[in-house]
Amino acid sequence: MKINIYSTLTKQKEELRSINKNKILMYSCGPTVYYFAHIGNLRAYLFMDSLRRVLKYNGYKLKHVMNITDVGHLVSDADEGEDKMMKAARLENKDPFAIADFYTKAFMEDMGKLNIDLPEIIARATEHIECMEDYVKQIIKNGYTYQTENTIYFDTSKLDKYGVLSNKNVKEDDTEARIDVDPNKKHLNDFALWIKAPENHLMKWDSFFGKSYPGWHLECSAMGHKYLGEEFDIHTGGIDHIPIHHENEIAQGKGFCGKNPAHYWMHVEFLQVDGKKMSKSLMNLYTLEDLKQKGYEPLVYKMFNFSSHYRKKINFTFQAMDSAKIALTRLREGYTKHLNGTEDIEEDKIKDYEEKFLTAINDDLNMPVAMSVVWDVIKNPIKSKKLAKLILKFDEVLGFDLKNYDPQEEKIPEDIVKLLEIRKKARENKDWAKSDELRDIIISKGYNIKDTKEGMEIKKI
Ligand code: AMP
Ligand code: ZN
């Protein structure tokens, strides 16, 4: 069955036609590892997860690369501000490489908690400095750059058109927009490819440009080329990457070999809080750990995301998270009921569900419609193992790890067990205030307590 995906390049849904038969070459812009990923960032990787799973469900093999940005991403996506890694290193008083290691590990843990199907290749920028050097040398050789005292710039005026994704007008003489910009930069949209490191700059390498470091946009072009070639099928990222980062990746590809690297460019919309993008700078963020503290397991956040299409903004509220939590419980319980069912169901009905599900996911990953099919299966009054098997099949796309779900194994985590012990002692000492305080903490972590004659009864909320 054909898969339609929306490409920002053509601004329409297009039928996916892969370069290789049965194999998709794909690149996703990964995290800048200077802090914990917030759940807005994680929406981008949940989208990536759904896309991977939908492609696999349709029988494709994948070669998918995701970068880890551990150098060169300035506070602004353009060439202004401090390097995010260096800023974090200064604030935490740590070596920037140690910062990168710590937050890369934290990011990978988050991926695991959300049961995200990981790209085949995860590439760290700092391990590809030579690869970036080779790439930039070719762009220089092809005549697409100019050099100022401290920077090698990409000269966007050398392209037929700069801004193919966002259809920007090149405002070369917009003096207002040029405030704070390097006066030696020739055109407003020109961007840094390689930068000379000031004395106190910690992340720098000996290269053709002296002690220096690469510009942020370069890593995706160089690593994409190294692992996927001059042209690949799909490139993904958040919508904030459209106007600068991805325009610059396309510019670099054109400068390197005359080609836009990806045939389809896919972008995921923002997670918002009170109508504003969730972001570190607005300080309106939550991490998976924050959600856990409030009693929501990570997969509830995945369920929350399925309530909206990836190209639509979604507003984060705890009310919506409560609904998602109920939905996840319903899904697990409904699956278990079918698993224990003994009735039979006609093959035609199963085929009908399968077709509807496939139509939804192949229509530009329409997960809300796909979920409505899942609910129809769950609600079917015929309780049949065949329907449980079907739900498991759908879960290859959803990724709720139902095949490993065991209702008997709803284990109480160790931190809760410890809190229960402390509360038990408090009650033995008749310290009711402490007992109540601990009960509230335990509830906030997602467990209900009932005090009975026999002791405490604990149940997941
Ligand atoms: P960064 O680590 O800042 O490079 O961002 C990682 C990814 O998260 C990028 O693809 C961003 O586009 C995406 N992103 C950042 N904020 C949000 C948000 N509020 N909602 C959805 N995606 C986001
Ligand atoms: Zn990128």
| Nearest atom in ligand 1 to 238's CA | 12
Pairing assessment for the beta strands 191-196 and 210-214 based on DSSP bridges: antiparallel
What distance in angstroms lies between residue 253's CA and the mean position of ligand 1's atoms? 23
**3-class SS at 398?**
helix
77 lines ligand 1 (CB under 6 A): no
Distance CA 180, CA 188 (A): 11
| Number of the ligand 1 atom closest to the C-alpha atom of 237 | 10
Q: Kindly state the tokens that stand for 43.
A: 């929406």
Sorted by sequence, the CB contacts under 8 Å of residue 332 that are 6+ apart come out as: 400, 402, 405, 407
Rounded Cα distance, 402 and 246, in Å? 36
Give pLDDT, residue 20: 97
Per residue in 64-79, is it b (16+ CB within 10 Å) or e — as a string? bbbbbbbbbbbeebbb
Of the candidates 290, 286, 297, the residue with the CA atom closest to the CA atom of residue 460? 297
Ligand 1 centre and the CA of 11: distance in Å?
21
Which residue has a Cα nearest atom 21 of ligand 1?
A: 270
Return d(Cα 392, Cα 389) in angstroms, integer: 5
The Cα 24–Cα 55 span in angstroms is 8
Is-above-0.85 flag for pTM? yes
3-state DSSP helix/strand/coil % of the chain, to nearest 5:
45, 20, 35
The answer to whether the CB of 354 is under 6 A from ligand 1 is no
Q: How far is CA 240 from the centre of its chain?
A: 13
**41 C-alpha to ligand 1 centroid (Å):** 4
Atom of ligand 1 nearest to the CA of 73: 4
Q: What is the distance between the alpha carbons of residues 48 and 241, in angstroms, rounded to a whole number?
A: 15
| Beta-ladder partners of 236 | 28, 266
pLDDT at 178: 47
Q: Tokens 């700078």: give the residue.
A: 281
CA of 40 to the centre of ligand 1 (A): 6
Report DSSP letters for 82-104, one per residue: -BHHHHHHHHHTS-HHHHHHHHH
Residues near ion ligand 2 (CB < 5 Å) are: 29, 220
> In tens digits, what is the pLDDT along the chain, a chain of 461 residues?
899 999 999 999 999 999 999 999 999 999 999 889 999 999 999 999 999 999 999 999 999 999 999 886 666 666 667 778 778 877 888 888 888 999 999 999 999 999 999 999 999 999 999 999 999 999 999 999 999 999 999 999 999 999 999 987 555 444 444 455 788 899 999 999 999 998 888 888 999 999 999 998 999 999 999 999 999 999 999 999 999 999 999 999 999 999 999 999 999 999 999 889 999 888 899 999 999 999 999 999 999 999 999 999 999 999 999 999 999 999 999 999 999 999 999 999 999 999 999 999 999 999 999 999 999 999 999 999 999 999 999 999 999 999 998 776 666 788 888 899 899 899 989 999 999 999 988 888 888 888 877 677 777 77
At residue 176, the pLDDT reads 44
Distance (angstroms) between ligand 1 centre and the Cα of 454 equals 50
Q: How far is it, in rounded angstroms, from Cα 301 to Cα 304?
A: 5
